[in-house]
Amino acid sequence: MSGCCPSRGGDRRPTTQAVSDCSERNAPPRLQLKGGRVMIGTADTILPQDGEKPPRQKRVKPFAIDPIAVTNDRFADFVAATGYVTEAEPFGWSFVFQGFLDPLSAYQRLPGAEWWCRVEGADWRRPEGPGSDLAGRGDHPVVHVSWHDAVAFARWAGGRLPSEAEWEYAARGGLEQRRYPWGDEEPDDTGFQPCNIWQGRFPHANTAADGFAGTAPAESFAPNGFGLFNMVGNTWEWTADIWRIRSLRKTARNPAVPTAKQYVLKGGSYLCHKSYCYRYRIAARTPNTPDSSTGHTGFRLVYDPGSIG
């Protein structure tokens, strides 16, 4: 279990429905990336338990990518066209950050990461649970979507989730081995705020100096060198890759007690802060189970040459 992206744990996964392929009419213009041999990972020792090291070269084929994460409006089009039901809905609950809830005594806290609350009725339409809605947030990234939900949307839209290597290559925007999409300058709590992360004392005091206490519109802040918005901060993004840590010994990679299959998330979120979750860096990564959903996790799509759209 990660305090960054909490998991549903032992809950039984509900049955998900198949979604037929369908061309999408309202997707944002895609950006074409040429790929090639690219470096991913980092030589920095920051969170060795996450397997960020060592830097390694990967070959990435040409692909197209959405400049922004999938928004609430776009996801609503998908649901209207297909009748799709997200996993949070039959589960009946999802994880919501404590700062959006009152009174906190009404909610079950996650042991070890008490800022996460199990909220009955929270889902993509009601991000903070019953009584909340998407008014004014149509252009924000959709949240409370599981990996399975993201894959279902991708199938409908004629795309797919990016690999971790594709995601890092895209996030760097042409800057080789830089820590952030804009370079190496560190965001702070008072002056330099190029992305939507936490400012203040986590998890109790958020000054929202960057203008947002929660999600920001998907097309916020300056884009990177490839024209992509919010590749770090705002919302975590699901990738296609199963979580592995290649930099650790075999015995550490394959614990004696089996664990549920998990997938890699990239980019960090509006809840990241250097003092707690220093994962709004390009090389940073975190795992979660494919049925998990939270109020700070979304996704964006990539497309192979000749795909629908």
Query: Residues near 8 by Cβ (< 8 Å), separated by ≥ 6?
Result: 91, 289, 291, 292, 293
Tell me the two tokens of residue 102. 């009152």
pTM: 0.92
Tell me the two tokens of residue 104. 């906190």
> What does pLDDT average to over the chain?
91
Confidence class for position 252, pLDDT limits 50, 70, 90: very low
If DSSP codes are grouped into helix, strand and coil, which group holds residue 60?
A: strand
pLDDT digits (tens, 9 = 90+) for 176-221: 889 999 999 999 999 999 999 999 999 999 999 999 999 999 999 9
Confidence class for position 245, pLDDT limits 50, 70, 90: confident
Name the least confident of 51-55, 109-113, 257-261. 257-261
State the CB neighbour count (10 A cutoff) for residue 112: 10
β-partners of residue 119 are: 94
If DSSP codes are grouped into helix, strand and coil, which group holds residue 38?
A: strand
pLDDT average, residue stretch 88-95: 98
Query: Residues near 40 by Cβ (< 8 Å), separated by ≥ 6?
Result: 55, 56, 58, 164, 165, 168, 169, 283
pLDDT average, residue stretch 28-35: 97
Q: Does the pLDDT value for residue 307 go beyond 70?
A: no
Calpha distance 261→148 (Å, rounded) = 13
Q: Does the pLDDT value for residue 53 go beyond 60?
A: yes
Q: What is the helix (H) or strand (E) element at residue 58, kind and residue range?
A: strand 56-60
pLDDT digits (tens, 9 = 90+) for 116-130: 999 999 999 999 999
Query: Residues near 254 by Cβ (< 8 Å), separated by ≥ 6?
Result: none
State the CB neighbour count (10 A cutoff) for residue 100: 16
pLDDT average, residue stretch 233-249: 86
Q: DSSP string of 199-267?
A: -EETTTEE--TTS-SS---SS-S---TTS---SSSSSEEEEEEEP--TTS-HHHHS-SS-----EEEES
Domains detected in the chain = 31-89+128-303 (3.90.1580.10)
pLDDT of residue 104: 94
Q: What percent of the chain has pLDDT over 90?
A: 83
Confidence class for position 222, pLDDT limits 50, 70, 90: very high
